[in-house]
Amino acid sequence: MSADQPREDKRQKYTPFGLQANAIGKLFENPDKPVSLPEPSKEKTIKPPPDIVKNVSSSTAGAGSGEFHVYKQARQREYERLSIMAERAEKETVQAEFAAKQEQVRAEDERKTSKNRARREKKKAAQQRAKETETEPSKKRRLVAPDAPTLRTDTPHHP
């Protein structure tokens, strides 16, 4: 570079925010273009163990040096198979617990709702009865006139 030419700007390092902004910008440039979404990750699977094992090997002395690696691979496959089975069992128990808890919450909500519904219906029926009795002549207690004698006297009663 010569002194009379300006130095070109260096490329800036992309930050996660910048990468995301660029990706969104590309999506908005052509909104009619279909977006390719990655497939969801599939559940781990491993082929089942063989029904008949031709050559049973172990890591004990007497086995050939080449057999140790075969044994090690078989053992690793079995451990992986067992771990996948344990993960599946754990997943099933978590799902069963969640379903039970969800059912319990739903039953509790239903109980509360039905209790409130019964209370509302009872109140509505009482209001309806009050309306019906209002139309009939009322048989309310009569108030005692202020000059009427009372049973109680202000003087103490001595026998």
Task: Name the band, by pLDDT with cuts 50, 70 and 90, for residue 25.
Answer: very high
CB 80 within 8 A of CB 74: no
> Domain limits at 129?
62-133
**Residue 119 resides in a domain:** yes
**Residue 19 resides in a domain:** no
**Residue 40 resides in a domain:** no
**Residue 97 resides in a domain:** yes
**Residue 84 resides in a domain:** yes
Domains in the chain: how many in total?
Answer: 1
**Residue 109 resides in a domain:** yes
Query: Which pTM value belongs to this model?
Result: 0.44
**Residue 2 resides in a domain:** no
Mean pLDDT score, 145-152: 63
- Interval 36-74: pLDDT, tens: 888 888 877 877 777 887 766 655 656 677 777 888 888
**Residue 123 resides in a domain:** yes
- Interval 80-138: pLDDT, tens: 989 999 999 999 999 999 999 999 999 999 999 999 999 999 999 999 988 888 765 55
**What is the per-residue pLDDT for 90?**
96
